[in-house]
Amino acid sequence: ESDSWHQGALKFKEYCEANSNGTIEVDVFPNSQLGPEVDMIQGILSDSGTVDITFTGESMQTYQPDLGMIGMPYLIQSDEQMEKVLTGEVGQEFEGLMEACGMKCLGYFTRGPRYITSTKKITNVADCNNLVIRTPQSAMTVAAFQALGAKPTPMALSEVFTSLQQGTIEAQENPLAMIETQSFYEVCPYLILTAHLRAWVYIAMGLTQYNRLSDSQRAVVDAAGAECQAHEHELFLDNEEKYYNQLQEQGMEFIEVDTKEFADAMVNGVLPILTDSQKKIYDEIEALA
């Protein structure tokens, strides 16, 4: 609940309730209380009444495969490039894809780069051979880690700590915030600075639910989205530095690697599985580097 997304959600609630003359009430449910992301997406799209807004991005690829490009390794190399993507034509394209699925984008939260944490020391791609690593259930991520020679093992985030502890898996990959809040430093002595993925999530509201609001309510919700995006970004930048220092204090050994070597292997592993429209998005984002 201390993480920047939760604080962003609280800011959204505060803004909506303060500016809607009591006509909008927002309930915030942290820590996956309403179920996993996939269930929340289904709940919103089916207008079940249990959930109206969630944070999502790459997981929407089930409905619109091109949104899977949010999870393309080494596609976005810097915060500046991310900004260009999200505020430019490509960003509009992604938001259009979200709307085609039935989701209205009210803003976005950027995520810190993803790094590998491991129970064994990794200094180059060869060290990843046969490494059993937990990954999200994403074809792109699985292909990328297979290209390193690793054995990607998708599993729920809630199972990762115990699996590392028991030796069922040897590694996992996540942004610093997740490594810190999930206490992975207790079971992984090594943090490998691959920065293999920079991604984002949208503050996404069901289009059906959004269209049900009055014009003045929609204006409040739009403004709340912008407000919470700015608030979260400020916290996110502070937190990145804080987590970096905290993890080192917890005794993790940070290992610098040749990211070009990792990028060449991972990108070449994923390019063959991209569709034509995904390749087009890949080229558009590459051009903004």
pLDDT, tens only, 80-121? 999 999 999 999 999 999 999 999 999 999 999 999 999 999
**What pLDDT score does 3 carry?**
83
Q: Same domain, yes or no, for 267 and 158?
A: yes
Domain assignment present for 206: yes
At 289, the amino acid letter reads: A
The alpha carbon torsion through 182, 232, 105, 54 (nearest 10 deg) reads 40
**What pLDDT score does 173 carry?**
98
Domain assignment present for 82: yes
Dist. CA 17–CA 10, nearest whole Å: 11
Q: 165-174 pLDDT, tens per residue? A: 999 999 999 9
Domain assignment present for 284: no
CATH number assigned to the domain comprising residue 80: 3.40.190.170
> How many domains is the chain partitioned into structurally?
2
Q: Same domain, yes or no, for 230 and 260?
A: no
Q: Same domain, yes or no, for 218 and 257?
A: no
Sheet of strand 200-206: strand arrangement: 53-56, 200-206, 103-110
Q: 273-288 pLDDT, tens per residue? A: 999 999 999 999 999 9
Looking at residues 28-46, what average pLDDT do you find?
91
Domain assignment present for 154: yes
pTM of structure: 0.90
* Strands 171-175 and 132-135, sheet pairing: parallel
Q: Which helix (H) or strand (E) holds 13?
A: helix 4-19
Q: Same domain, yes or no, for 124 and 187?
A: yes
Q: Same domain, yes or no, for 77 and 147?
A: no
Q: Same domain, yes or no, for 50 and 104?
A: yes
Looking at residues 61-84, what average pLDDT do you find?
95
Domain assignment present for 27: yes
Q: 204-240 pLDDT, tens per residue? A: 999 999 999 999 999 999 999 999 999 999 999 889 9
Dist. CA 6–CA 141, nearest whole Å: 26
Dist. CA 125–CA 266, nearest whole Å: 10
Residue 173: give the domain boundaries: 114-197+251-274
pLDDT at 186 over 90: yes
Domain assignment present for 280: no
DSSP 273: G
Q: Same domain, yes or no, for 58 and 182?
A: no
Q: Same domain, yes or no, for 27 and 76?
A: yes
In the chain, what percentage of residues exceed pLDDT 90?
A: 89
Bridge partners of 203?
Answer: 55, 107
Q: Same domain, yes or no, for 56 and 179?
A: no
Domain assignment present for 287: no
Q: Same domain, yes or no, for 48 and 172?
A: no
On average, the pLDDT of the chain sits at: 96
**What pLDDT score does 1 carry?**
64
The alpha carbon torsion through 142, 145, 150, 151 (nearest 10 deg) reads -10
Domain assignment present for 167: yes
Q: Same domain, yes or no, for 142 and 165?
A: yes
In sequence order, the 6+-apart residues with CB closer than 8 A to the CB of 236 are 4, 109, 110, 112
Half-sphere exposure of 263 (CA within 13 A, CB side): 12
pLDDT at 185 over 70: yes
Among residues 201, 202, 219, the alpha carbon closest in space to that of 210 is found at 219
Q: Same domain, yes or no, for 16 and 95?
A: yes
